[in-house]
Chain A
Amino acid sequence: MLSGFVVALVTMAYFGLLFAVARWGDARADAGRSIITANVYSLSLAVYCTSWTFFGSVGRATSGGLSFLTIYLGPTLMLMCVGVVIKMIRIAKAQRITSIADFIAARYGKSQQLAGLVTVIAVIGIVPYIALQLKAVAAGLDMVFGQSEHSVRLLGMDSTLLVAGVLALFTILFGTRHLDATERHEGMVAAIAVESVVKLLAFLAVGVFVTYGIYDGFGDLFSRVAGHPEFARLLDPDSARSGNWMALLVLSGFAILFLPRQFQIIVVENVDESHLKRAVWLFPLYLLLINLFVLPLALAGLIHFPAGTTDPDSFVLSLPLAHGADALVLFAFIGGLSAATGMVIVETIALSTMICNDLAMPLLLRSTWLKRRKAADLSGVLIAIRRTAIVGILLLGYVYFRAAGEAYALVGIGLISFAAVAQFAPAMFGGMYWKQGTRAGALAGLLAGFSVWAYTLLLPSFARSGWMDGSFVEVGLFGIGWLKAQALFGLAGLDEISHCLWWSLLANLGAYVAVSLATTPDAVELAQAERFVDVFRQTERLPGAHLWRGKASLDEVVELLKRFLGPARAQQQLIHYARLRGLDDWRRLPPDAAFVHFAESELAAAIGSASARLIVANATREEDLGLDEVLDILDEASQVRAYSRELETKQRALEAATGELRAANERLRELDRMKDDFISTVTHELRTPLTSIRAFSELLYDDPRLALAERQRFLGIIVGETERLTRLINQILDLAKMESGRAEWTTSEVDVGAVVRDAMETLGQLFRDKGVRLDAEIAESLPPVQADRDRLMQVVVNLLSNAVKFVAADSGVVRVAVGEADGALRVTVADNGPGLTPAECSQVFEKFRQGGNTMTDKPQGTGLGLPISRQIVEYFGGKLWVESAPTAGATFIFTVPLPAPEA
């Protein structure tokens, strides 16, 4: 028999060791040298194996045979869906998620109601599970001291309350030493990993001792069972219970992700996604090992102890105890204690974070108490709330243990909790993969599933322990048969867990999908849905792309950070952030959207996304309201803001569209006016030659005795005007074709020098007639250009004929030059005519604007030559312009780009 002193000493030493590991882990984390490796992460996942596994699996195996394995096969399969887990981790990191309540609330528009509801469900659902740990440890304690149940007493407390007290103290020391409770707890994770090793070794030690020490291995035990036909059924998978089997696979698969402590360890405490690669096989291997000896222990216990004399849940201790292996009993007790404390620590830390952020904070933000403590540092308050929550949760566990625990075996209680957290599945999976899922849908689904769970599982557990009237289980609520709590709508033949799971998930999923489809999400929900579902597509979130708009003052936001994070930590984060943005001094940070986003995510890490959003949104309004005034406005405010932002965006879009329409209309009107002017001008230009033609024709017609010379002169004018008319019509058509892009171009290699020489030859007679000198300076061996030869010819002829038109007869000089400059060929036609004013320099390229004022030459021009020339040159990528000043002559220049050199 072990002495109380030795047990207490070893227990204290073990706790001390864990504490040292945790301190060391925290210190290393603070120094930036994390001790969380892939192996540590994988082992810490084994917090899944609680005292329920350690003691309860054997108990369950004595009644359910192999079905205890489902609780470990489900997680094995679920963890292999690595994509799902990585997505959760990625989202949680991007959104600074602190808990599963935070996750669901953030997804559905950072909703406080939802965060609160999830927290309530989690607390109510998990309390039985905590009770289970207390019960197991207390039972173990009594067993080790060889005393009757619950008779270990200290200061008037029974052993269970004592255990609860010690665990509360231990958890507080572990999890809430400082507000880094907000961030990760690397020390705690390391300690959990150590505990995982201890409980595995302890269980294996007991298993080996019993299987190989007391008996002669697996084969011996299995053959002994042959002599006990009443136990033989435990060894065969029972097809009649296949529905239960599948239900338990599903249930445990959900539990590995959605139990608050599992979410904490797998998602929140994950430091590196790649650790999952190890966890995906190492954690299942751990599960396999810890289950290897469960069946042999169960069989050994059943064979060794006469039926009904010993609680199967305590075989792990009672078998070595019965064989006098005291040291092994102590080791097994420490293993069981490890299993229980690991679970309680992580679970209560996770739950206390949820209670603090999602229940207490919203209340606190509304209270007058906070306003009075206006400038105070609130990080201390946050820690106090969490510590209170830890004590509260353990007390609740104790109360439940008192109320209902005695009536259930360990596994039964654990499964009640599993079924509760399974209610998160539709909102979680829907939230990660279905953008249409809405806040209202999530609320409806959770409420429906939770209600069915409470009616079919939680309340019957109270009824069974005589805590309340059990008639609703026996005959149905109000005596209505199909309302029997554990045979809803007559669905009998399942065990209570499967029955609850199928009905609650049906109600949950149905309500979630139906309500989601019937409601429209608001802007924040939509944005969050986008961020969650498409998290892999957003390699980096754009801080500017937020639903935040308003005025923030740096001081005000910094004040918030100091209040909720504590001054030291706030300062540290600000310095880090300023450095990221390339600033030496955080005081010079601009209070822009990116900064506000940074502040919000820092606060979210401390107090959850819903509360953080509320505080930031209110502290950064355009109106200069104080924090306390603004806190009253609360949820409605963020709703209204989301709507008004949406409205504003739409209004801006509308204004932009109106502006565009107005501009388009203006352009159209301008085009219409130009077309009108053009037609009017064309009419004028056509009528002018027609006037001469008609007038002279009539004169000739009316006066047959007209002198021959006169007659010849008039006919000459008529012919000339007809030619002018023809030319005009051709050019108008030409221009119209070019402008509408329907002109035909034949592009080939063109020697520009040759073109210029041809043009000079064509017009040579014109120059000689007027006595105008024509000089040419054409560079040798110019590279060819890609152009239409005839069109280029048209341009040169036009420029030359303009020049000869405007220079004085006999003294006029026109100089033509062709050269290469800036990757283009350059043709200049310079004359010594009257020149152009700066205004005329641009006017000459307008249609029907003719330069000069020479009555004599007018009939030759149509006023379209230069506009057409410019169109042609621009078509080939060149430019046509004029350099001139009055009395200084005019120089027309055009370029044709050379083809780009082959790369």
Chain B
Amino acid sequence: MRRGSRSRQRLGALALCGLPLLGFPILGLAQGEWLGWPAGFVYLFAVWAGLIGLAAWIAEGRGR
């Protein structure tokens, strides 16, 4: 129970960090091209995938 609620809090914190990362004005920094690919596209999918990875790491047996 205690562990459960702690990972709940970690996930909530992740959501709070995700909101500014996935919105303006930070999103506005991803302009132009990165290594030949559109920066906005790369940035959004990279942050999104990062969040998903972290969420999986927190939710599924971190340190189990």
The interface of chain A, by Cβ under 8 A from chain B, is 65-66, 69, 73, 76-78, 80-83, 86, 218-219, 222-223, 235-237, 239, 242, 245-246, 249, 277-278, 280-282, 284-285, 288, 292, 295
30 A-B pairs in the complex with CB atoms less than 8 angstroms apart: A65-B40, A66-B40, A66-B41, A69-B48, A73-B18, A73-B22, A77-B15, A77-B22, A80-B11, A80-B51, A81-B12, A81-B15, A82-B59, A219-B36, A219-B37, A222-B36, A237-B24, A237-B28, A237-B40, A237-B44, A239-B25, A249-B23, A278-B60, A280-B56, A281-B53, A281-B59, A282-B56, A284-B51, A284-B52, A288-B52
Q: Which of B38, B44, B55 contacts A80 (CB 8 A)?
A: B55
CA of A434 to CA of B27, assembled, Å: 34
A426–B43 alpha-carbon span in the complex (Å):
33
Residues of A within 8 A of B15 (CB): 77-78, 80-81
- Which residues from 31 to 46 on chain B have a C-beta closer than 8 Å to any C-beta of chain A? 31-32, 36-41, 44-45
Residue of A nearest to B22 (CB): A73
CB-based contact B24/A239 at 8 Å: yes
Question: B-side interface residues toward A, CB under 8 Å?
Answer: 5, 7-9, 11-12, 14-15, 18-19, 22-25, 27-28, 30-32, 36-41, 44-45, 48-49, 51-53, 55-56, 59-60
Question: Once bound together, how far apart are the Cα atoms of A78 and B16, in whole Å?
Answer: 10
CB of A654 to closest CB in B, whole Å? 42
Pick the contact of A82: B12, B22, B51 (CB < 8 A). Answer: B12
Give bound CA distance, A236 to B55, whole Å: 27
What distance in Å separates the Cβ of A75 from its nearest Cβ neighbour in chain B? 11
Main SS at interface, chain A: helix
Interface residues of B, dominant DSSP: helix
Write the chain A residue with the least CB distance to B35. Answer: A219
Bound state CA distance, A885 and B19, in angstroms? Answer: 92
> Shortest CB–CB separation between residue B31 and chain A, in angstroms?
6
B11–A280 CB distance below 8 A? yes
Contacting pair A285 B52 (CB below 8 A): yes
In the complex, are the beta carbons of A83 and B12 less than 8 A apart? Answer: yes
Given contacts A222-B36, A236-B32, contact A288 B45 (CB under 8 A): yes
15 more CB-based (< 8 A) A-B contacts, given A82-B12, A280-B59, A295-B41: A66-B40, A73-B48, A76-B18, A76-B52, A77-B15, A83-B12, A219-B37, A235-B41, A239-B25, A242-B27, A246-B24, A249-B22, A284-B48, A284-B51, A288-B48
Given contacts A237-B24, A288-B52, contact A222 B37 (CB under 8 A): yes
> Is B55's CB under 8 angstroms from A284's CB?
yes
Residues from chain A with Cβ under 8 Å of B55 in the complex: 80, 280-281, 284
CB-based contact A242/B24 at 8 Å: yes
The verdict on A242 contacting B9 (CB below 8 Å), with A80-B55, A235-B41, A288-B45 known, is no
A280 to B51, CA, bound (A): 10
Q: Establish whether residues A281 and B23, one from each chain, have CB atoms under 8 Å apart when the complex forms.
A: no
Whole-angstrom CA separation of A81 from B15 in the bound complex: 7
Q: A66-B40, A237-B31 are in contact. Are A246 and B11 (CB under 8 A)?
A: no
Q: Which residues of A contact B5 (CB under 8 A)?
A: 83
Docked-complex contact B30 and A237, CB < 8 angstroms: yes
Q: In the complex, what's the smallest C-beta–C-beta distance from B63 to chain A, in angstroms?
A: 14
Q: Which residues of B contact A78 (CB under 8 A)?
A: 15
Is A281's CB under 8 angstroms from B52's CB?
yes
CB distance from A108 to the nearest CB of B (A): 26
Cβ of B45 to closest chain A Cβ, rounded Å: 7
Write out the residue numbers on chain B whose beta carbons fall within 8 Å of the beta carbon of A86.
8
Indicate if the CB atoms of A281 and B12 lie closer than 8 Å. Answer: no
A242 to B11, Cβ gap below 8 A?
A: no
Please, how many angstroms separate the alpha-carbon atoms of A236 and B39 in the complex? Answer: 7
- Residues in A neighbouring B60, C-beta threshold 8 A: 277-278, 281
B36, A80: Cβ atoms closer than 8 Å: no
The verdict on A245 contacting B23 (CB below 8 Å), with A83-B12, A288-B45 known, is yes
Q: Decide: A76 and B25 in contact? CB cutoff 8 A.
A: no
Contact call A235/B27, Cβ cutoff below 8 A: no
A277 to B56, CA, bound (A): 8
A77 lies within 8 A of B28 (CB): no
CB of B14 within 8 A of CB of A80, answer: yes
> In angstroms, how far is the closest chain B Cβ from the Cβ of A80?
4
Q: Which residue of A lies closest to B12 (CB)?
A: A81
Least distance between B48 CB and chain A CB atoms (Å)? 6
Query: Which listed residue, A66, A77, A277, touches B44 by the CB 8 Å rule?
Result: A66
When distances are taken between beta carbons in the complex, the residues of chain B under 8 Å from A295 are: 41
Docked Cα-Cα span, A83 to B49, in Å, equals 22
Q: Evaluate contact between A235 and B38: CB separation under 8 angstroms.
A: yes
Instruction: Specify which chain B residues have a CB less than 8 angstroms from the CB of A235 in the assembled complex.
Output: 38, 40-41
Shortest Cβ distance from A38 into B: residue: B60
User: How far does the alpha carbon of A278 sit from the alpha carbon of B24 in the complex, in Å?
Assistant: 29
How far is B15's CA from A281's CA once the two chains are assembled, in angstroms? 12
